Amino acid sequence: MKKHNFNSGPSILPQEVLQQAAEAILNFNGIGLSILEIGHRTSWFVDVIEEAKSLVKELMQLNDGYEVLFLHGGATTQFMQVPMNLLDDSSTAAYCDNGIWGSKAIKEAGLFGQVNIVASSKDKGYTYIPKDFIVPATNSYLHITTNNTVEGTQWHSFPQTEVPIVADMSSDIFSREMDFNRFALIYAGAQKNMGAAGVNLMVIRKDVLGKVQRKIPAIMDYRNHIEAGSLLNTPPVFAIYVALLTLRWIKKEGGLKEMERRANEKSNLLYSTIDSLPLFKCPIAKEDRSKMNAVFFIEDETLQNRFLDECKAHGMIGVKGYRTMGGIRVSMYNALPLESVQAFCNLATAFNNANQ
């Protein structure tokens, strides 16, 4: 049976990336050693990480003011590391509360300075993205989560503000074209659109660093990682290699323009189908719906569980909603083929028609 991988993360990877990664485990680039065995300071791995950085800058069209890092800890570590590096005890940072991950980031930032929640969609269960809010120019930075994996919302335009913007792009990185140079700092766990779990991408505009008064532990200071070229300590070698393979695949397939076209095609098909079926309800504001993670429900929980069982029986993996949300979630990351979305829509249509 063909499997359709709708997991929200770790998520689907391109088949050719999986094949290349598997070959490298046995024999990396024909050197007779596994990618799991090579030293991280050898020229073999330095070439890997330098190419990966170069591809990030190329795909995102970053100017010379930016540095690219590959760090341990995933995006969750950045909830703490960002304010540690950018927010003084006596300063205030602006945060948007648009879902579970933004809420967690707010909690961590409060350990290092004052937090100003300038926008929130909590009042309606995080089913929309706030607009027309004001960010005081005195705030150190504005933090947003560009795509809310759990709740199914996404920023399709970004605030105009004088303060540096920090963006958690974990679940929609490399899925669309935009002016990445308008962000002061971007972080993203790799395991959704960029590779395997275990590494976090950082894109940092260097001029925002070195402004806090606190002493920062050496391993937490972005400046030390920049100076060491992401080799301050032993990096997650295999995860970075898989990220490189995925970045190569994105470029070969047509870059961010093509990734965006595919995302539009898949999400338009999914949402138009769900909206046409009376059994399924999507509470997310249409203008704020995520192109990466569609979240919807069947109001009758018994029927919903039956539908989830049908998905499993048809080889559809990872469609059960997040544990705090319930419902159904279809994740449509870059590597997910259109055919998988078509298969899901066909099943949803048949189930709707059989249960009306």
User: Do 281 and 246 lie in a common domain?
Assistant: no
Q: How far apart are CA 108 and CA 118, in angstroms?
A: 16
Q: How many domains does the chain have?
A: 2
Examine the pLDDT at 179 and tell me if it is beyond 80. yes
CATH number of the domain within which 259 lies: 3.90.1150.10
Q: Six-digit token pair at 178? A: 């935009």
Torsion 90-95-101-103 (CA) sign: positive
User: Do 37 and 171 lie in a common domain?
Assistant: yes
Residue 1 lies in a domain: no
Tell me if residue 201 falls in helix, strand or coil.
strand
Domain end, chosen from 220, 237, 253, is at 253
Residue 9 lies in a domain: no
Note the pLDDT tens digit of each residue in 234-259: 999 999 999 999 999 999 999 999 99
Active site residue 155: no
User: Do 236 and 319 lie in a common domain?
Assistant: no
Identify whether the C-beta of residue 196 lies closer than 8 Å to the C-beta of residue 242: yes
Residue 2 lies in a domain: no
User: Do 151 and 224 lie in a common domain?
Assistant: yes
Tell me if residue 313 falls in helix, strand or coil.
helix
Identify whether the C-beta of residue 197 lies closer than 8 Å to the C-beta of residue 191: yes
Domain end, chosen from 221, 253, 285, is at 253
Note the pLDDT tens digit of each residue in 18-69: 999 999 999 999 999 999 999 999 999 999 999 999 999 999 999 999 999 9
Identify whether the C-beta of residue 167 lies closer than 8 Å to the C-beta of residue 157: no
User: Do 96 and 28 lie in a common domain?
Assistant: yes
> What does the DSSP 8-state code read for residue 170?
T
pLDDT above 90 covers a percentage of the chain that reads 97
Residue 298 lies in a domain: yes
Buried/exposed 73-92: b ≥16 CB within 10 Å, e otherwise: bbbbbbbbbbbbbbbbeebb
Note the pLDDT tens digit of each residue in 254-291: 999 999 999 999 999 999 999 999 999 999 999 999 99
User: Do 202 and 311 lie in a common domain?
Assistant: no
Report the amino acid identity of residue 292.
M
Give the model's pLDDT for residue 13.
98
User: Do 243 and 271 lie in a common domain?
Assistant: no
The single residue of 192, 266, 291, 320 carrying the catalytic annotation is 192
Q: How far apart are CA 152 and CA 121, in angstroms?
A: 13
Examine the pLDDT at 325 and tell me if it is beyond 90. no
Distance of CA 33 to the CA centre of its chain: 32
User: Do 176 and 260 lie in a common domain?
Assistant: no
Residue 3 lies in a domain: no
> What is the pTM for the complete model shown?
0.97
Active site residue 286: no
Instruction: For residue 158, give the nearest of 136, 143, 138, 137 by alpha carbon.
Output: 143
Residue 267 lies in a domain: yes
User: Do 236 and 262 lie in a common domain?
Assistant: no
Note the pLDDT tens digit of each residue in 280-320: 999 999 999 999 999 999 999 999 999 999 999 999 999 99
Residue 23 lies in a domain: yes
Which of the four pLDDT bands, split at 50, 70 and 90, describes residue 163?
A: very high
Task: Give the mean pLDDT of the chain.
Answer: 97
The single residue of 53, 97, 101, 172 carrying the catalytic annotation is 101
Examine the pLDDT at 203 and tell me if it is beyond 80. yes
Examine the pLDDT at 323 and tell me if it is beyond 90. no
The single residue of 53, 97, 155, 168 carrying the catalytic annotation is 168
Alpha helices in the chain (DSSP H): 15-26, 43-60, 74-86, 100-109, 222-227, 237-253, 255-276, 301-313, 338-354
Residue 326 lies in a domain: yes
Give the model's pLDDT for residue 212.
97
Element holding 314 (H helix, E strand): none
> In Å, how far are 23, 157, 298 from 41, measured between CA atoms?
21, 41, 53
Identify whether the C-beta of residue 188 lies closer than 8 Å to the C-beta of residue 60: no
CATH number of the domain within which 61 lies: 3.40.640.10
Examine the pLDDT at 109 and tell me if it is beyond 80. yes
- Main-chain phi, psi angles of 12, to 5 degrees: -60, 145
Give the model's pLDDT for residue 1.
76
Which domain covers residue 91, as residue numbers?
A: 15-253
DSSP 238-278: HHHHHHHHHHHHHHHHTHHHHHHHHHHHHHHHHHHHHHH-T
User: Do 96 and 214 lie in a common domain?
Assistant: yes
User: Do 274 and 169 lie in a common domain?
Assistant: no
Instruction: For residue 186, give the nearest of 207, 216, 166 by alpha carbon.
Output: 166
Note the pLDDT tens digit of each residue in 327-339: 999 999 999 999 9
Count Cα neighbours of 247 within 13 Å in the Cβ-side half-sphere: 22
Active site residue 123: no
User: Do 147 and 210 lie in a common domain?
Assistant: yes
Domain end, chosen from 229, 253, 277, is at 253
